[in-house]
Structure 1
Amino acid sequence: MSDVRELSIEVRGMTCDHCERSVANALETVPGVEQVLEVSHAGAIARVKAGPEATSDRIEGAVAKAGYRARVRSHGGAAAPVAVPSRGADFDLLIVGGGSAGFAAAIKGADMGARVAMAEAGTLGGTCVNVGCVPSKTLIRAAEVQHRRSHHPFDGIPAGDGRPDWARVRGEKDQLVGELRQAKYRDVLRSYEAITLFEQRATLTSGRSVRLADGRTLTAGRILIATGASPWAPPIPGLAESGYLENASAMALDRLPDSLIVIGASAVGLELAQMFARLGVRVTVLEALPRVVPAEDPAIGEALGDLLRAEGLDVRTGVAIESVSRADDGYSARFQEEGEARAVRADQLLVAAGRRANTRGFGLEDSGVTLGKNGEIVVNEFLQTANPGIYAAGDVIGDPMFVYVAAYGGALAAENALGGNVRHYDLAALPKVTFTDPAVASVGLTEDQARAAGIEPLVSKLPLEHVPRALAARDTRGFVKLVADAATRKIVGAHILAAEAGEMITEPALAIKHGLTIEDLTGTFHPYLTLSEGIKLAAQTFDRDVAKLSCCAA
């Protein structure tokens, strides 16, 4: 029926799976409700398909009878209209920052019928398209092609070699960045008449106004801060005086150095370290914590560190860097390792030790906005700051700093700012990927985190030597590790080390988000000779020895 639409409902008071079932049962009794699509106590949300008979009063009344509070907030998948009055302001929503969060917020605001302004003094598009995800991943792929020329497992294919043409590789990267910036940012803005772009810095003068660099003052019903984050350097003696590369400047070097020191072994540090190593640079990685990718499952950190060392990278973990110095012949880093004083020299030094929110110089401190210990903006579950008229989203609110989180947060913050705090910020099933080779992908809890949360974990760890696709590709580096709740057999975590781990992680993320069990995974068809079949095999490993199964055993 053409008049059937999707309704999104905010539901308060749910705390468990039983609550979800009670709400679902209540919704099914409402005349006109054709299907209950989702009920989530974690997200405080329900979604249904319904005809016109399913009015807001009927839905909210049925949920109230079940003992919960409901509010119908959107129809047909479209954003709810603007509900917060602007009272004569220049704009309904004014966004400070033109990156992923800012653009998502602007588009959401325009879809809601709001008058939107965006102020951005730097390059449109933010970190990801300009100096982060897009340029790094294209360079990583180029380095992988170079590496495969002389390092592949097929004896019948002659190996090749040769120094890469860095200038051409870098030029192709710059071309891609420019094309995407134009197509996905500038051209997108032109298609929205309701969005006005001011390409200059904006400073808050109150909770309802900003002053532009040219002296003009703009007013708005609501303000959204989406100013992103910048690379951060640890306070190592001599580091600031010596100067160093950050991720953007490293990818823009005129020529490849012969040697490189990388400080930091999380995602950015390891991705760039391996990239440069595969392009012929001698790379040393220095990490203060005991393992690389220290935020990941310990087994992944141990295995990835060993694989990178086997590839020729000099990876040092558990070190304490004492000083950095620079001379005509390059950089020197002095550090303590296992109680002994050591030093390493290289032509260039890259610092990849994390990022900090861009909150200085925007007038936040005079606008009632509270900052956290690392300078990030403190927000509530609606992404609202301590000043109720100001919201914030993206990297500026701190970890996790991913482009897809920024886009999600920007749209959510705009909807809350304009619609009256109707959606909760929920990162309960957030997947993340480190684009090394093999890659790292994870979602949910590790087994230690599960125990800390009061969950008795069931753990399955499947080496890739049991995945037919990995055998056919002659690349069995890595494993798939799943964590389930022993009481319910629901999947609560997944941790993957594999050549294309990022292409495998969405299935476990969906499983966690929707409360799927081990049996749901084992009972789902997985195409043969795909790496994603490793998810099913890992789920089977909870109860069976997959080494004793035939290739296509169910």
Structure 2
Amino acid sequence: MSKPFDAIVIGAGQAGPSLVGQLTGAGMKVLMVERKLFGGTCVNTGCMPTKTLVASAYAAHLARRASDFGILVGAEVGIDMKRVKQRADTVSYNARTGVEKWLRGMENCTVIEGHARFTAPHEIAIGSETYTAPRIFLNVGGRANIPDMPGINDIEYLTNTSILQLDEVPEHLVVVGGSYIGLEFAQMYRRFGAEVTVVEKGPRLVSREDEDISDAIKDILEAEGIAMRLNAECISFKPHPNGVEVGVDCTNGAPSVVGSHVLMAIGRRPNTDDLALDKAGVALDERGFIKVDDHLATNVDGIWALGDCNGRGAFTHTAYNDYEIVAANLLDGENRKVSERIPGYALYIDPPLGRVGVTESQARASGRPILVSKRPMTRVGRAVERDETLGFMKVIADAETQKILGAAILGTSGDEAIHGILDTMNADVGYPQLKWSVPIHPTVSELIPTLLGDLKPA
């Protein structure tokens, strides 16, 4: 006999626990199902452990540069990778156990650890037990995408999850994929002391960004000794006495590179292939993402999809915003929409890239009259004082409406400074409002009014 609930939430990632809190607070009896680790990708294999590792790598990098600041330290900078890993593990563990404790302590919330599968549109099975609810929320996340490349099944490789288990520095890490995840690990392990090669099928890194951003990122990483193999049209793998031989078939350079370790960083795929969604009639797109409307509802009444599994955002903050949208519409009678969300994100190399809105290329392709301004980070006093002047700021605005369309800050604290522009865009006001603000000196953000004041037709 099925056990009834008012709502079932599958997946304790970024959106799930907060949604459970809202639903139980509204008096609903809720079942929370988590089959592996509470907290989801961000807490366990994404933001929290990786940014903890990035911080350790930055400390090593800064220690090597100590003399530039007049600080005298020993000649060698040692890396205790076991301690580095322990620190990241501790951060994840504390966050994970905190989420679990919060859920288990909620009134009206039943927590079950297990693998949920649909047996009907509003019924799931976990082991031999079945549960029903008129409202089901899918927050099942995603995992590393491993394309069927020649030789991939003949080698051992790392993903963004398994690489976190390393407690030693690889001799030579080959990163397959020149986008966000791959580049963060590439710089991180280079700073830990590994030889690093990035293999990218396309002609440039982070191809969704403007070409000047891609070029600057490439220059930054190459300056730290990271080898780049772009235009790798035919990537293949085979075992080698020293690890793995990666065929790259590039237009320039040796046809292959040998690494002690290989990290596969070629995008993500949703965890939707083992939920028996067909039994519920939930529609998927060609990539396996759950199709949702502007309110995050699926094609089946009473079933919603939030977070990475719906293809409408690939970040912790977009997953959390999915929860906010669903909760506001369901419980508060609002009409929040995903399409109203202004996209913003960051790439956590050093210096970081903060991004919001459209790129310059996208703005030009729209055919609308635009204004563009660009300033180097060498003009930022805070960057000069830190001796971290790599990168630049760029903003794009609509010439007619004076609304900011997008911006990029590739530079020290770029991930924080971008929020001044993001907030202006969310407020839906013209750039003159921000242009005449009086920012604090000395900060990275203080150059933004100057940047806006230099907007010119493009």
Q: Could you say whether these structures have the same fold, taking a TM-score greater than 0.5 normalized by the shorter chain as the test?
A: yes
Residues 38-96 of structure 1, C-alpha deviations (whole Å, 9 max, x = no match) = xxxxxxxxxxxxxxxxxxxxxxxxxxxxxxxxxxxxxxxxxxxxxxxxxx982221111
User: Is 1:195 matched with 2:109?
Assistant: yes
TM alignment of 1:452-531, pairs within 5 A: 452-531=365-444
2:322 to 399, 409, 422: 409
Match of 2:447 in 1: 534
Residues 320-340 of structure 1, C-alpha deviations (whole Å, 9 max, x = no match) = 233101233201111121277
CA distance in 2: counterparts of 1:542 and 1:501, whole angstroms: 19
The structural deviation recorded for 1:455 is 2.3
Structure 1 gap ranges (5+): 1-87, 545-554
Residues 372-425 of structure 1, C-alpha deviations (whole Å, 9 max, x = no match) = 111110111111111112111101112521011111113423454567784322
Quote the RMSD (CA, aligned, Å). Answer: 2.0
Pick which of 391-400 and 459-468 moved more. 391-400
1:111 to 19, 22, 25: 25
User: Is 1:423 matched with 2:336?
Assistant: yes
Amino acid paired to 1:149:
A
Match of 2:255 in 1: 342
TM alignment of 1:47-196, pairs within 5 A: 90-151=4-65, 154=68, 156-158=70-72, 160=74, 161-183=76-98, 185-196=99-110
CA distance in 2: counterparts of 1:344 and 1:413, whole angstroms: 48
Amino acid paired to 1:488:
T
CA distance in 2: counterparts of 1:435 and 1:423, whole angstroms: 30
Residues 138-181 of structure 1, C-alpha deviations (whole Å, 9 max, x = no match) = 11110111111113572522354332010011111111111111
CA distance in 2: counterparts of 1:505 and 1:187, whole angstroms: 34
Residues 262-309 of structure 1, C-alpha deviations (whole Å, 9 max, x = no match) = 001111100011000000000000111222121122211110101100
1:415–1:211 CA distance, 2 compared to 1 (3 A): farther
1:240–1:534 CA distance, 2 compared to 1 (3 A): farther
1:221–1:281 CA distance, 2 compared to 1 (3 A): same
Secondary structure of the residue aligned to 1:275 is: helix
User: Is 1:450 matched with 2:368?
Assistant: no
CA distance in 1: counterparts of 2:327 and 2:431, whole angstroms: 37
Secondary structure of the residue aligned to 1:370 is: coil
8 Å CA contact 2:376–2:391 kept in 1: the answer is yes
Secondary structure of the residue aligned to 1:319 is: coil
8 Å CA contact 1:462–1:479 kept in 2: the answer is yes
Amino acid paired to 1:402:
F
CA distance in 2: counterparts of 1:388 and 1:220, whole angstroms: 12
8 Å CA contact 2:233–2:249 kept in 1: the answer is yes
8 Å CA contact 1:260–1:283 kept in 2: the answer is yes
1:218 to 108, 125, 131: 131
Amino acid paired to 2:58:
E
Secondary structure of the residue aligned to 2:54 is: helix
User: Is 1:241 matched with 2:154?
Assistant: yes
Residues 119-153 of structure 1, C-alpha deviations (whole Å, 9 max, x = no match) = 11111111100111000001111011111111357
The structural deviation recorded for 1:207 is 1.4
Structure 2 gap ranges (5+): none
Amino acid paired to 1:501:
G
TM alignment of 1:430-449, pairs within 5 A: 430-449=343-362
8 Å CA contact 1:296–1:442 kept in 2: the answer is no
Match of 1:227 in 2: 140
Which has the greater radius of gyration? 1
8 Å CA contact 2:201–2:230 kept in 1: the answer is yes
1:223–1:416 CA distance, 2 compared to 1 (3 A): farther
CA distance in 1: counterparts of 2:335 and 2:24, whole angstroms: 17
8 Å CA contact 2:373–2:454 kept in 1: the answer is yes
CA distance in 2: counterparts of 1:415 and 1:91, whole angstroms: 21
The structural deviation recorded for 1:427 is 5.2
User: Is 1:382 matched with 2:288?
Assistant: no
The structural deviation recorded for 1:236 is 1.2
2:179 to 266, 269, 276: 266
Pick which of 466-475 and 445-454 moved more. 445-454
Secondary structure of the residue aligned to 1:139 is: helix
8 Å CA contact 1:262–1:286 kept in 2: the answer is yes
Secondary structure of the residue aligned to 1:105 is: helix
8 Å CA contact 1:483–1:494 kept in 2: the answer is yes
1:223–1:468 CA distance, 2 compared to 1 (3 A): same
CA distance in 1: counterparts of 2:341 and 2:251, whole angstroms: 38
8 Å CA contact 1:246–1:350 kept in 2: the answer is yes
1:255 to 164, 168, 172: 168
For these two proteins, the number of residue pairs brought into alignment is 455
Match of 2:311 in 1: 398
Pick which of 319-328 and 476-485 moved more. 319-328
Amino acid paired to 1:525:
V
8 Å CA contact 2:104–2:110 kept in 1: the answer is no
CA distance in 1: counterparts of 2:18 and 2:141, whole angstroms: 13
When normalised by structure 2's length, the TM-score is 0.95
